[in-house]
């Protein structure tokens, strides 16, 4: 595969005059191209849903959500993993991103690292990737050797492999259990895949990781309930979440949170079922930690 032949490297006929456009026309060109991104992602929704279902099974069994990539793609993976932890109360060991060249490449470009398949294998060996894990390989071109090698190695070890690329039938896709490929077309600025391709990748990663968290019981209604109240700010947040989920007062939420020993899902269940601590804990255990399912069980 010649890199120059990739769709992500082609010239965009709609923006060949962008250097001569005034600012109003320039942003209009960029915005019109950005509107193609949502449609390209929409076409991949079945693949995203499949990835969520398969990944949740492994995540619930103790598997880790591992992102890997180079350059912009690698940075987007690190960002998604980093944001997941405080949002859903995850440990650093449960989800993390690996970027070619290490943490320094989050801020500086290191030449050559994206071409090294050996480096990718070393990076995955360092974190002891296994068959419970979920490895998401991200590469706009679908041809970055570092990422392709990483996914091939992870697949050989039995991990669930998910490819996220912006070209069809790429080398990355061949090593994936599930391939998600929003085809965004040529960039406004030729080869600048931080633009449409980067936006598409971010949209997919948002859906993918959020979906896994929802399926894992870390959301009730549309509220993130896995917050851990460790200081005044998070205590207030936890009370607001409980009050909103149960349509009760902040005072009632505070009392339930105290009874539940700062466990937000348990506090919600205490209010929703009007039961005892022991009953609420039993319901949560029976439902695998899913509050909605636990509420339904209490009504049977």
pLDDT tens for each residue of 59-92: 999 999 999 999 999 999 999 999 999 889 899 9
Taking residues 292-300, report their average pLDDT. 91
Known active-site residue 9 = no
pLDDT for the residue 112: 83
In CATH, what class is 3-215? alpha beta
Model pLDDT, residue 172: 96
Sorted by sequence, the CB contacts under 8 Å of residue 81 that are 6+ apart come out as 65, 66, 67, 95, 96, 97, 209
Lowest mean pLDDT among 32-36, 98-102, 144-148, 231-235: 231-235
The second-level CATH assignment, the architecture, of 219-298 is Orthogonal Bundle (1.10)
Domain with CATH 1.10.8.1080 in the chain: 219-298
Which residues of the chain form CATH 3.40.50.10490?
Answer: 3-215
Active-site residue, 83 included: yes
Percent of the chain whose predicted confidence (pLDDT) is above 90? 82
- Examine the pLDDT at 1 and tell me if it is beyond 60: no
pLDDT reported for residue 178: 98
Instruction: Give pLDDT, residue 9.
Output: 79
What number of CA atoms fall less than 13 Å from residue 145's CA on the CB side? 11
Residue matched to tokens 């990748």? 201
What average pLDDT does the segment 21-32 reach?
96
pTM value is 0.91
Pick the catalytic residue: 9, 83, 254, 279? 83
Instruction: Determine which one of 114, 173, 187, 272 is catalytic.
Output: 114
């Amino acid at each position: 595969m010649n890199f120059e032949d990739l769709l992500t490297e082609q010239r965009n006929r709609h923006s060949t005059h962008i250097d001569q456009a005034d600012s109003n026309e320039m942003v209009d060109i960029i915005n019109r191209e950005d509107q193609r991104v949502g449609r390209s992602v929409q076409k991949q929704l079945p693949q995203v849903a499949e990835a969520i279902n398969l990944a949740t099974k492994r995540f619930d069994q103790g598997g880790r959500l591992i992102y890997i990539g180079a350059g912009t793609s690698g940075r987007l993976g690190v960002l998604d993993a980093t944001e997941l932890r405080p949002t859903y109360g995850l440990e650093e060991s449960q989800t993390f991103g690996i970027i070619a060249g290490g943490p320094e490449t989050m801020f500086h470009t290191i030449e050559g690292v994206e071409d090294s398949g050996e480096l990718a294998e070393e990076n995955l060996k360092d974190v002891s990737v296994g068959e419970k894990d979920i490895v998401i390989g991200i590469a706009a071109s679908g041809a970055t050797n570092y990422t392709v090698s990483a996914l091939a190695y992870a697949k050989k070890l039995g991990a669930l492999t998910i490819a996220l690329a912006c070209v069809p039938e790429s080398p990355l896709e061949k090593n994936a259990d599930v391939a998600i490929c929003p085809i965004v077309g040529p960039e406004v600025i030729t080869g600048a895949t931080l633009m449409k391709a980067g936006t598409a990748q971010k949209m997919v990663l948002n859906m993918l990781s959020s979906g896994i968290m929802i399926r894992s019981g870390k959301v009730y209604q549309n509220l993130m309930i896995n917050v851990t109240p460790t200081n005044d700010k998070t205590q207030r947040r936890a009370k607001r979440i409980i009050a909103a989920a149960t349509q009760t007062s902040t005072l009632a939420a505070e009392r339930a949170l105290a009874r539940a020993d700062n466990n937000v899902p348990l506090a919600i269940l205490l209010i929703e079922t009007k039961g005892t601590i022991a009953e609420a804990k039993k319901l949560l255990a029976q439902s695998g930690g899913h509050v909605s399912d636990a509420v339904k069980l209490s009504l049977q």
